[in-house]
Structure formats: structure tokens, C-alpha cells
Amino acid sequence: MAHTELFPPIEPYNHGTLPLDGIHTMYWEQSGNPEGIPVLFLHGGPGAGATPGHRRFFDPAHYRIVIFDQRGAGRSTPLGEIKDNTTTLLITDIEKLRHHLGIKQWLIFGGSWGSTLALVYGEAHPERCLGFVLRGIFLCRPSEIHWFLYGLQNIFPEVWHEFVSRLSIDEQRDILTSYYRLLIHPDPDIHLPAAKAWSRYEGSCSTLLPNPDTVDYFSSNTVALGLAKIEAHYFKNNIFLPENSLLDNVHKIRHLPGVIVQGRYDAVCPIVSAYDLHLAWPQAEYIVVNDAGHSAWELGIQAELIKATEKFRQIL
């Protein structure tokens, strides 16, 4: 019978910080088996940061679990910094970490924005990838960003109206620019409430059924400050990549094994993006969880992600 439950909590066997440039410093950690299969966990957002729970998707007896917080996120410093924070630089950071840890190849695991970054990294460095476990696919197309900012009102009208309530009717015509202006304001009395409102909005829409714990997590200062500001920064810049670049370049990783896990009722990253990736990459296993939304912690998605890591444990 396949293992489908989270593995027990573990602590890192080592961790540290890695200077990236004159501004940014990356937090990283390793847990599990130092001689095991290397796996890189890519957190969502951009800007959300990783948590101790993310170690639990992998059998610690068999995996060397590498987790880091991306520029401006979580325990990396400075928190919420958008200067010199681009997709290309994140890929450079991943390679810097790989060299620092002496890893030749690794399995790539990412959900939501983590799936985006996994695809960008894989398409840039396919020779460094053993395979992919992807969840809640986000291809960062203009239609997906527009859906996040406007389309969600069709499913979560109460939450959406709360989200835009701090904006005038005129400002609501361009939510992204209006929120970005608030988020980059130097006064914490202006940018922190805006960050919490943005992050709470995303957290409230992330599960099929209401989950106060998820909303509380997204509402914490660290998550909100990193997530909202960096997300708005990346959205305003169309994630610093040509439009449709992820699908246009997926041929570079088609030869590698992949598993795509998607909640049928994912409102934050609607299933059409996962389906489009499936059509472009039919060699990857495509799994739809019919009783789930976006969050990796929903039981059906959690189970399929763990089954996927167990499958790779057998084949790598």
C-alpha cells in the first residue's frame, strides 16, 4: 500500500546563510539522509517562504532534503526586498546553492509559484534535474494574473470585496498598480495593512473548504510582507520572462520524468493551466484531485504528492 501521510517532523542536520550579492542573503537548510537522493523544495508565492512542515513530504531515510527561502522571503534577508529580485536571479541563486552544497543533480519539487520556478529552472538547466513533482500549476500568463486579481470575485465575492475595499472605485480598475503603490510605501502603517489584506485574500481562496489556520498563516507579518510585495513586483513585471515562455520551452524537459498534481477546484491557480501543461508535456503523469482546491495541505493533494516522492524514491 502506498505511503500517503506526512512523514514525522524532523530538524535539519545543517543549515546556514549564503550571501548572494551586496543586498540579499539566502537562508538554506538540509534534512533527512546526507547520502540520500537530493531533492530541492521550491516554495510558493513568490515571497511566501518555506516552513518546517515542508520537510515532511519526503522520506527522510531516503532523501537529502534541501529547502531554501527565495530572495526577500521567509528567513532570507532583507525581508520583502524587491531590488535585484528577478526570476533570472532566482535561477542563479539555485545554481549557487547547488554548487555550495556539492550536488550534481536533484529532484525538483514545487507548488504554485514553486511549480513556475521549477519549470524555469528545469528549462534552463535540464542536465541538473532528475525529475519534477509539480502542484497547483501557475504559468504566470497575463490571463492567470488577471484571474487572481479580478476573476476570483466570481467564486469568493465576499473575500474579493474585502480585498479591494481599501481602494477607490477608480483604483479598482487597476488593482495591481494601486496595491503596488501601497506595498512599496515606506510607512509600515500603510504597507503592512495592505500586505496583510493581499496575503489574507490569497489564503482565504486557497482551500476548497474554509480553513482558518491557512488564513491565519497567510496573515502573519513575515508571510504577508514577503508574499504581497514580491508577488506584486513579479506580477507587474510579467515574471521577467517572455509571454508563454514556460510552455514554449517545455520540450527541454520532456525527456525527464514528471508528476503534475492539480486540485480540480483550485481557484487560485485554475486547472486550465495544469491541463495546458499536460497537453504540452504528455509524458508527465497528470493527476487531478477531485475534492481539493489549491493548498498542498489538503488531504487529497498531500497524499498524491507523497505518493509521487515515494514513486521517485523507487525509480531514481
Amino acid at residue number 78 = P
Q: Which helix (H) or strand (E) holds 39?
A: strand 37-42
Cell 465576499 sits on residue:
158
Omega before 78 within 30 of 0, i.e. cis: yes
8 A C-beta contact, residue 218 and residue 35? no
Give the residue from 313, 268, 280, 289 showing the smallest Cα distance to 44.
Answer: 268
**Whole-angstrom distance, CA of residue 109 vs CA of residue 186:** 35
Query: Are the beta carbons of 40 and 83 closer than 8 angstroms?
Result: no
Which residues are marked as active site? 112, 266, 294
Nearest to 93 by CA among 125, 139, 48: 125
> What distances in angstroms separate CA 264 from CA 53, 114, 256, 267, 301, one per listed residue?
24, 19, 25, 9, 10
Neighbours of 186 (CB within 10 A): 6
